[in-house]
Homo-oligomer: A and B are copies of this chain.
Amino acid sequence: MRRTVFFISDSTGVTAETIGHSILAQFDGIDFDAHRLPFVDDPEKAAAAALRIKTAYAKSGEKPIVVNTMADQALCNVVASSGALMIDLFAPFMGQLEQELGTKRSGAVNRSHGLIDTSRYDRRIDATNYALTHDDGMSTKFDDADVILVGVSRSGKTPTCLYMALQYGVKAANYPLTDDDLEAEQLPSFLREQRSRLFALNIDAERLAQIRSERRPNSRYASLEQARWELGRAQHMFLAHHIPQINTTHLSIEEIASRILSHLGLERDMF
> Nearest residue in B to A102 (C-beta to C-beta)?
B1
The 0/1 profile, CB within 8 Å of B marked 1, for residues 236-255 of chain A is 00000000000001111111
Give the distance in Å from the alpha carbon of A49 to the alpha carbon of B139 in the complex: 39
Q: Is the CB of A270 within 8 A of B34?
A: yes
Q: Evaluate whether A258 and B115 lie within 8 angstroms (CB atoms) in the complex, with A25-B108, A93-B87 already known.
A: no
Q: Which residues of B contact A111 (CB under 8 A)?
A: 25-26
Residues facing B in A202-216 (CB within 8 A) are 211, 214
Give the distance in Å from the alpha carbon of A125 to the alpha carbon of B208 in the complex: 13
Q: Is the CB of A26 within 8 A of B106?
A: yes
Q: Evaluate whether A90 and B23 lie within 8 angstroms (CB atoms) in the complex, with A121-B253, A162-B166 already known.
A: yes
Kindly state whether residue A177 has any CB partner on chain B within 8 Å.
no
Kindly state whether residue A181 has any CB partner on chain B within 8 Å.
no
Among A15, A90, A158, A211, the one with the most B-chain Cβ atoms within 10 Å of its Cβ is: A15
Kindly state whether residue A143 has any CB partner on chain B within 8 Å.
no
Chain B nearest CB: distance from A266 CB in Å? Answer: 10
Chain copies in complex: 2
Among A85, A89, A270, the one with the most B-chain Cβ atoms within 10 Å of its Cβ is: A270
The 0/1 profile, CB within 8 Å of B marked 1, for residues 10-48 of chain A is 011111011101111111111010111011000000000
30 A–B contacts, CB within 8 A, in A order: A7-B270, A14-B18, A14-B254, A14-B258, A18-B19, A22-B69, A23-B90, A26-B105, A26-B108, A27-B101, A27-B103, A28-B103, A28-B106, A32-B271, A36-B262, A36-B267, A36-B270, A38-B262, A65-B97, A85-B97, A92-B92, A114-B251, A114-B252, A114-B255, A115-B250, A121-B252, A122-B211, A124-B159, A128-B162, A162-B166
Q: Which residues of A contact B (CB under 8 A)?
A: 1, 3, 7, 11-15, 17-19, 21-30, 32, 34-36, 38-39, 63, 65, 69, 71, 85, 87, 89-90, 92-94, 96-97, 100-101, 103, 105-106, 108, 111-116, 121-122, 124-125, 128-129, 132, 135, 156, 158-159, 162-163, 166, 211, 214, 249-255, 257-259, 262, 267, 270-271
